[in-house]
Amino acid sequence: MGYTYSTDEYLQLVDELVDGYNLPKNIISSLLGYVKPIYRSDMENKYSEPMLWIGLYIVLASLVCILAMVADLLHGLRSRKLGFPCKYFRLNAAFLVIIFVAMKLLVDRSGVIPGDVDQAGKLGSMAFMCITMANLLPCLATMGSNELLTHIIALGVLVITLVVNVLIQIATGVVSYKEDAPIIQIISPKYADVQSMAITKNRNTMLSTIYMTLLLVLLVIHVCSCLAILKSKKIIESKYERRHDRALKDLPGGLLTVEKLQMHVTNHWIMAGSGSPQFITTCFPTTSTSGVICVFITILHALTMSWIIKAGLMKDYNSDYSWSMPVILIVQSIGVVIGTIAPLSRCFAILSFKVSFKIISKHLNVFEVESYWTSKLYLWKYASVQTLKKLIISFCIEFQEGVVVVCKIISLIPFSLMIFVLYCLKWAVFSSSEQNKDLHAYALQLEDEMELAERTLERLSKSVKQMIKKGEKSQPNHLMKLILERSSCGFQGVKCFDHIDHDVPSKVEYQDCWSLPVVTLTAIAVSLPKIEKKEVDSLLKSVREGLVYVTLVEENLNATHDYVTIQHAAETLWQEVDVHHKWLGYKLKEHAFQDIRAGQIVEWFGDTARNIVYTEDVSKDDSISMSICATSMYRVTKTIMLTFQTDIDDNVNQKKLFDNLSSMIADIMAACLTNLQQVIIAKCHTSVIEKREATVQYAAQLLGETTQIIKALQDRGIPSMNPDDLSFIDKWRAYLGDP
């Protein structure tokens, strides 16, 4: 209730009346009786001032949800995934909070909604929430059991809270009709369009009831889908393991050609793509049903918007949210339209995924409920010993089967429509081909009688080829140049960088890894003062590119505790050399190095390393790392001094020493990179089903980046060592020393 005067103005007016007129005490008392409600009105006005900013906050939260949906749409189009998997818009704590903020209008039970635009804003929020729920459905498949349970409970609490609040608002008339309607009817019934007001009231009540019912239906769909997802993952996982074993058996013994690697990556991409949890979930009838619901909601909301166009032009919004209310309505209406695209596309995506006569018969037999829908419930039933609990679970089983049957019936609507359209367009969607017979063997399906569409196999095959080509555009050219120009025949640098037994005064147990000698040799090479800057920079770029792949080999094939400690020390040292141009705190290329011979520089490194090894306290992790790096430098410099003594005594031969160091660096990295095939094979496989697509995609990218390196090393000839020994530098040194 609003007043013309504020409290101060009203009290001043009363004072003027008392001073100017001889008013009776009872009238003065009556006038003062209005102070309290006027004061309350002032406070309400003051408290409602932030509502405009809260409205804009709702707009911002809605925009975040819409942008995430748009990002998923663009990702799906870019990757040609008609199922539009959820990559950005996810069911997690952050988005649950954002969605709750976007639904502020639905939980605002005390706020008055006097205008038609304000009423439409409430209805728009209900429609937007339903669309949001439908878009979140596929992301359930990306979660583990515990995470899935946590988030579905959180979503259920949110949905039930919204439904209860809206039902209360329907009962109190907040979302029924305009606030001033009953006042007009009481005071001036002849000016009131009673019939129009009744229509508006009934319409808003009916729409609110429909939206809340659909919201509860979508919640039921989410819960039912969760039960199927848990079992379907296990089915897909067992089939994946069998096909993965088959793919490994199909690999020939010894070194693989690039073509064989590409086929191995393709096979695993078919398995990862067809067995993706979101891909499987897209084919559920519950997903198709959510798409149909989205279309129905969009139609209802479009009608609502058409009804309030005139009210919007007349600025019929008088709530505390002020002009932010039409902004909320417009933004969330855009969200309704955009949010319908992905669920609608998923309705028809199944025809692209699995088109065959078998699937038609499967859809026509709508009363058949597959075992994975109720398997989890039966497991809980048989595990229970309580009669009441068994009865409850039995009811849940019947309810689950009923939901699946209803969803199958509803999903026939888009299915039949799409079949009719394709038939009219005379598309050969049911044709079969033997072209991808080998790829069919690696396609994963929940049911054995189902068959992946030829078009889907071709799309998956093309997509992995595109990933490999994309990787080819990011090839390590500097590394390739170093290997081609500097690497020696037979990888002799692996043997000669440290092939003499030294009496090393190390306080830690030391063994070589691939990356540490590379960094150590690089530190010496870049410290030589007479080498041109462009050559030093070229070496640094080559080592920078090479260590990326060397680290991959070590992480995937040398992941034992002892090696990890040394690899961590090498990584820390490389950051110091590459970024800060230092070695264990000492600056490389000091001014004092300018006028001394290369041999003296090498000797300085050796003496400094020896002192560090003797004096360093290895009780701390940093000290252990420093001692490891110093031990490596001591061994390398002693080898250089004994092997190249004649050359490095002459200042003119700094270039020759630099070339020898570069050659050893190239040989070590080249020998390490002969293991790239094994890394790619390892990256194709992961036991975590939710991460399988990402790991195979990374393997395809890696194959594209390193194709030329793999070919070059195979052309050069790889030693006939035991394949299991190729990943260890000490095995290489032993073989090269005594082949």
Contacts 24+ apart (CB under 8 A), 592-599: 593/527, 593/529, 594/529, 597/648, 597/649, 597/650, 597/651, 598/528, 598/530, 598/648, 598/651, 598/653, 598/654, 598/657, 599/641, 599/645, 599/648, 599/649
Q: How confident is the model at residue 616 (pLDDT cuts 50, 70, 90)?
A: low
Q: How confident is the model at residue 395 (pLDDT cuts 50, 70, 90)?
A: very high
| Opening angle at CA 48, ends 107 and 183, nearest 5 | 80
> What per-residue confidence (pLDDT) applies to 72?
94
**pLDDT tens digit sequence for 408-448:** 999 888 877 877 776 676 554 444 444 556 778 888 888 76
Residues above pLDDT 90, as percent of the chain:
39
Residues above pLDDT 70, as percent of the chain:
79
Phi/psi zone of residue 254: left (φ > 0), alpha (ψ -120 to 50 degrees), beta? left
Q: How confident is the model at residue 726 (pLDDT cuts 50, 70, 90)?
A: confident
Q: Tell me how far apart the alpha carbons of residues 37 and 44 are, in angstroms, rounded to a whole number.
A: 10
> What per-residue confidence (pLDDT) applies to 282?
87
> What per-residue confidence (pLDDT) applies to 223?
95
pLDDT at 704 over 90: yes
Show the tokens assigned to 582: 């230092």
Residue type, 468: I
> What per-residue confidence (pLDDT) applies to 331?
95
> What per-residue confidence (pLDDT) applies to 426?
55
Mean pLDDT of 81-95: 89
pLDDT at 38 over 70: no
CA-CA-CA-CA torsion sign (718, 724, 725, 726): positive
Any idea which of 177-186, 219-228, 244-253, 615-624 has the lowest mean pLDDT? 177-186
Mean pLDDT of 266-290: 90
Show the tokens assigned to 58: 């709702």
Mean pLDDT of 343-357: 68
> What per-residue confidence (pLDDT) applies to 130?
96
Question: In the chain, what are the domain boundaries?
Answer: 7-44, 51-175+196-233+289-352, 484-674+718-737
**pLDDT tens digit sequence for 648-684:** 555 547 888 899 999 999 999 999 999 999 999 999 9
> What per-residue confidence (pLDDT) applies to 417?
80
**359 or 257, greater pLDDT:** 257
Q: Tell me how far apart the alpha carbons of residues 361 and 350 are, in angstroms, rounded to a whole number.
A: 14
> What per-residue confidence (pLDDT) applies to 669?
94
> What per-residue confidence (pLDDT) applies to 312?
58
Residue 583 is classified by DSSP as E
Site of tokens 């405009």: 52
Any idea which of 58-62, 172-176, 454-458, 476-480 has the lowest mean pLDDT? 172-176
Provide CB contacts within 8 A for 248, sequence distance 6+: none
| Opening angle at CA 274, ends 271 and 275, nearest 5 | 70
> What per-residue confidence (pLDDT) applies to 483?
92
Q: How confident is the model at residue 356 (pLDDT cuts 50, 70, 90)?
A: very low
Mean pLDDT of 87-105: 92
> What per-residue confidence (pLDDT) applies to 718?
82
Q: How confident is the model at residue 350 (pLDDT cuts 50, 70, 90)?
A: low
Q: Are 381 and 393 in contact (CB under 8 A)?
A: yes
Residue 505 is classified by DSSP as -
Q: Taking all residues of the chain, what is their mean pLDDT, rounded to a whole number?
A: 82
Mean pLDDT of 57-65: 95
Backbone angles phi, psi at 543, to 5 degrees: -65, -40
